[in-house]
A and B are shown apart, each in its own frame.
Chain A
Amino acid sequence: MVMNDEGQLYTIEGITAGIIMLVTAYAVFSSGFVFTPGDAHIADMQLQQLGYDALLVMDTPLHAGDESRLQELIASSDVTPFTTEFNSYLSKGTGATYMINPLTFTVDTRTQWNATIYYRDMDDSDKIRSYSFGHSTLGDDFVTREPAISVTRYVYLDDKPINLNHISTEAYQKMDDPQEGQMVLFEVLLWRG
């Protein structure tokens, strides 16, 4: 039987086309994606949701009618326990770990934050005043940092927080103590450390 050696050109063309397709596919999949500032939206969105969720968890009472943990801590001006608990909520999850040294890996705790309480001035105008309510380890350093996103939560307070003068003398003087309770706005700035 004689070998059929017709259509050699088709074979060569097929092989050439195959190589071109492989090179194209390689070029597409090996291309790196540059993380531009516009892409920060994706991480920011996750950070925002994390922040709102952490505040929601802290502002949910254990039993109906009880004070929430967040209300408790603001009412007693306890900044240190808030810092610890809020940090633990932020670092919860199955997310990425990072290396402290080659033998120790830890859950990502690099998310930095800074919390502020906003309240209405006692002169009954619409003037808004504020006092600081804790920050993460590097959270008070506003010299250089990533752009922050803000998460907020309204908190209802029955009375003026006690020991407020230990945190801020100005807030102690300017914050109202209405019989009927008041709403304050708890704002946390979050950024990737």
Chain B
Amino acid sequence: MERLDDEGQWIVLMGVVVATGMFILAIIINQAPMVGQSTSEAVLEFPKNEIQDIRYHLAPLAQLDNSSESNKTIDRAKKDMRALSMARNNAVMYFETNSTTNMADLFYRYNRLTIRYNNGVTEYYEEHLVSVRLP
């Protein structure tokens, strides 16, 4: 009976290793374009700038006192922003300010600001205290 020639095992093993390595490298190249694609899709979809914009404009409103003039300004902004975000940004947006809380320390009074935002994909809820320097 002829003996099985089992020499050159290292050469066979190296062949397998190199082939596997090339296969993995090919998969990496194959995936590379998809990374840029899905990342930018995610960036486009997430309304980061809209939320930053809303916060930028609401912080000064939340700092207002509890006078009837301030309440008028806040109500007007509330109606305007709700209607505009619904019409142009496809988002439900609502905010609430509360300056009647008794939270204060030696230097600051704290008004509560609540923001709700939902565009069907991203839901955002924030509640924070806006500090107002006491006179």
The chain A residues found within 8 Å of chain B, CB to CB, are 10, 21, 24, 28, 33, 38-39, 41-42, 44-46, 48-49, 52, 56, 118-120, 124, 126-128, 149-154, 156, 178-185, 187
Contact = CB atoms under 8 A, between A and B. Distances in A.
Interface stretch (B72-80, B102-110, B113-121, B122-130): B72-80
The CB with the most chain A CB atoms within 10 A, among B53, B72, B81, B86, is that of B53
Interface residues of B, number: 33
A30 B64 CA distance: 63
A118 B29 contact: no
B40 A181 contact: no
Nearest to B48: A52
Interface in B38-83: 40-41, 43-44, 49-50, 53-54, 57, 69, 72-73, 75-77, 79-83
A106 B37 CA distance: 29
A120 B87 CA distance: 10
A184 B84 contact: yes
A191 to B, nearest CB: 14
B84 A45 contact: no
Given A10-B11, A28-B26, A48-B44, A184 B89 contact: no
Nearest to B33: A33
Contacts of A181: 73, 76-77
B76 to A, nearest CB: 5
B77 A183 contact: yes
B57 A152 contact: no
B88 interface: yes
B78 to A, nearest CB: 9
Contact of B88 (A24, A41, A45, A187): A187
19 contacts: A41-B40, A44-B40, A45-B44, A48-B44, A49-B43, A52-B53, A119-B80, A119-B84, A120-B80, A126-B83, A152-B88, A152-B89, A154-B53, A154-B84, A178-B76, A180-B72, A181-B76, A183-B57, A185-B85
A74 to B, nearest CB: 14
Contact of B84 (A33, A120, A178): A120
A126 B11 CA distance: 77
Contacts of B76: 178, 180-183
A118 B11 contact: no
A112 to B, nearest CB: 19
Contacts of B43: 45, 48-49
B58 to A, nearest CB: 9
A44 B37 CA distance: 11
B36 interface: yes
Contacts of A127: 83
